[in-house]
Amino acid sequence: GQGRDVKLSKDRIAGYKAFCNKLWNASKFFHLQLNTGLDVNPPDEGIENWLRKHWHELQPSNKWILSKLQKVTAVVEKGLNEFHLNSSSQALYDYVWREFCDWYIEFSKLSLQDIEHRDETIYTMHYVLEDIYKLLHPFIPFTTERLWQELPWKLEATHPTRETLGLGPVMSIMVQPYAKPQAEFVDQANERSVEALMNVIEAIRKFRGENNISPKKEIHIRYSTDRSPADAFIRMNSEEIRTLARVDSVERTKDEKSDHETVIPLTNPPVELRIDLKGLVDTDGEIKRVRKEIEKLKKDLDFVSKKLSNPKFVEKAPNDVVMKEQGKKADFETRLRELEQSLERLAAMEG
């Protein structure tokens, strides 16, 4: 950020190397979809015009990634105009890593298997990737030039300076028009719907992590809700939940919670997920593991709390350092509550 002197961090360099690899692999995934033996040709009117024409028919995940792209483009544009380069780069980092690579690529694997939505998904991925390369070009120019050059269906472009010098169009990302937000591609309602689906999937994945359940082991999910729209939402997205959360079935229930069930309450969508732990968890082993983790976490929390309660540290340390320690404390407290709740569930099962 502006006004900060930052020591060169090798860990930071390694982290951004991982980011470039993540983008490279996402691009490789796109190219693999073009080499499956199923012909895909660009639309005659161009991809952007095709997406506009078919906007209301697009798959929710395709509309979601396009809508989020417009928002990050606006943030990047504002950051560059105001010379807040860290704001622009952080927004791109989060969008590319979490939303495009972690979520959209996974969603796309489902629609790519559906012949009806295959071309649409490839067009969307191409459009988003090309805008990502353009947005990232001021930050990682060599990587983005290389990846852009490998894109199919790209167009030559020129620049006023080249025209003044009598030079024609050239095939380089450096003279391509920079990405601009497109208001027609923003859909807030669809964003909320897709993010509700992500909440369900993340809740199940988090449950697996907390209870050391292998991602390969499929589990049965029951859910309860007193709201018809929430029930309809789960039913409509059951295939995505089953595939991306690796569960064998998703069924509604009106029964009372059983002794061996754990309940995961969600507010968006307003449902309770119920998972039968019997046969899934080694109760004794998990209780020992969770208690050990709680003990370590309490020591870490005690250490950072003492640091923050020291007036000399709070007064003399830079503001960003103090905020970082406060963030650590909040994270430790949240994690501690989660582990204690997990321990209660395990103890109830054992009892």
pLDDT digits (tens, 9 = 90+) for 47-69: 999 999 999 999 999 999 999 99
- 256/80: higher pLDDT: 80
pLDDT of residue 339: 84
Q: What is the pLDDT of residue 349?
A: 67
**Report for 122-136, 198-212, 249-263: range of highest mean pLDDT:** 122-136
Q: Buried b vs exposed e over 258-292: b needs ≥16 C-beta within 10 Å?
A: eebbbebebeebebebbbebeebbebeebbebbee
**C-alpha separations of 6 from 11, 140, 173, 326 in Å:** 13, 20, 31, 20
Q: Which two tokens stand for residue 52?
A: 């506009």
Predicted local distance difference test score (pLDDT) of residue 316? 85
Give residue 259's pLDDT.
65
Average pLDDT over residues 12-29: 95
Is residue 36 scored above 80 in pLDDT?
no
- C-alpha–C-alpha distance, residues 181 and 179, integer Å: 7
Query: 2-32 burial, b if ≥16 CB within 10 A, otherwise e?
Result: eeeeeeeeeeeeeeeeebeebbeebbebbee
List the Cα angle 188/190/191 in 5-degree steps: 60
Least confident among 9-18, 208-217, 246-255: 208-217
Convert 48-84 to b/e letters by CB count within 10 Å (16 or more is b).
Answer: bebbeeeeeebbbbbbbbbbbbbbbbebbbebbeeee
- Most confident stretch, 96-105, 206-215, 253-262, 280-289: 96-105
74-83, 114-123, 192-201, 214-223: least confident range: 214-223
Q: Give the whole-angstrom CA distance, residue 268 versus residue 29.
A: 31
Helix or strand holding residue 76 (H, E)? helix 60-81
5-19 mean pLDDT: 87
Q: What is the mean pLDDT of residues 146-150?
A: 97
**CB-CB contact of 110 with 132 (8 Å):** no
Q: Which residues contact 69 (CB under 8 A, 6 or more apart)?
A: 95, 128, 131, 132, 185
* Confidence check: pLDDT of 283 > 80: no
d(CA 299, CA 316): 24
Q: Report how far apart, in Å, the C-alpha atoms of 88 and of each of 1, 76, 85, 185 are.
A: 11, 4, 5, 20
pLDDT for 146 beyond 70:
yes
pLDDT band, residue 350 (cuts 50/70/90): low
What beta strand segments (E) does 253-310 contain? 261-265, 272-276
